[in-house]
Amino acid sequence: MDELNMLACITANVGGIKRTGMTQILGCLNILHPVQIESWNKYQSIYAKSVECVTEKSLEAAGKEAADQAGVPCDHEGVTNVTGTVDGSWLTRRGHSSLHGVATCCSTADPPKVLGYEVLSRHCSTCSGLLGVREMDEEAYQRLLAEHFNSGCDANHTGSSAGTEAAVFRRSENKHLLRYTTFVGDGDAANERALLDAEPYGKDTLKKSYEGKKVADGLQISGRAGRLTDEKIHQLTTYYGSAIRSHVHDLKSMQAACW
């Protein structure tokens, strides 16, 4: 039974439906609902620790591989200078400002692997909930807020969305004995400036590697000239989607419509 409950917890997490969604699905199938919330939280904790353990092992292996393929000796502290690709993204919807984002750094090995990541948030539900206490009792609010900060607040980022990648850089020396002194960016000037200003390894230790460089198609990494845009992707998706749906019963005509 423990194995079945654990599998239900894993399924709910992988599917992004949580316990509430799993309860609805099992109800539709006329199957007993998941275990009580206290037991569910126990399985959730086991799942989270397992994922974290596997993640750390994967990041450690990727770091060692990046150091081996760098082809340069480490310094007197055992830290190796490597090249990394960095990018950050905020989960935005049209017309809304995102509260959550993620920054990642990947190796330039073949194949590239994730070396580090940072989940960023401007919002903490606990802090928001405590605002109700503040209106009733300021002293209790300050005490609860201090306890919350000591246990860990979910809000770990303030200010602009630019430069979110710096959080990943700051941990690389202690975590992997790596220093991402050369980085390949996507040409976002704001992110580049914020990353250079952060000086995660001290002054003048970072240098960009995309300016003037070209990829296999002969175009520069930065810029949009000759590349797919969101508008063009939407047009292609609409066109080919219509062509396929209009000829689902005739492969020959579908092929002709697509070409």
162-206 pLDDT per residue, tens:
666 777 887 888 888 898 888 777 666 666 777 777 777 777 666
Q: 244 lies in a domain?
A: yes
Q: Which two tokens stand for residue 106?
A: 């990947």
The confidence score (pLDDT) of residue 226 equals: 59
Residue 240 lies in a domain: yes
Judged against a pLDDT cut of 90, whether residue 46 lies above it is answered with yes
What pLDDT does residue 196 have? Answer: 74
Distance CA 26, CA 34 (A): 8
- Residue 238 structural domain: 228-259
243 assigned to some structural domain? yes
Q: Between these two residues, 65 and 185, which has the higher pLDDT value?
A: 65
Look at residue 119 and tell me if it is in a domain.
no
Flag whether 188 is in a domain.
Answer: no
The predicted-structure confidence for 75-133, as pLDDT tens digits, reads as follows 888 888 888 888 878 776 665 667 888 888 888 877 888 998 888 888 888 888 888 88
- Does 184 reside within a domain? no
Total number of domains in the chain: 1
The percentage of the chain sitting over the pLDDT mark of 90, rounded to a whole number, equals 12
Rounded (10°) CA dihedral 189, 194, 195, 200: 170
What is residue 102's predicted lDDT score, i.e. its pLDDT?
Answer: 86
Longest Cα–Cα distance in the chain: 75
Tell me the pTM: 0.63
Q: How confident is the model at residue 161 (pLDDT cuts 50, 70, 90)?
A: low
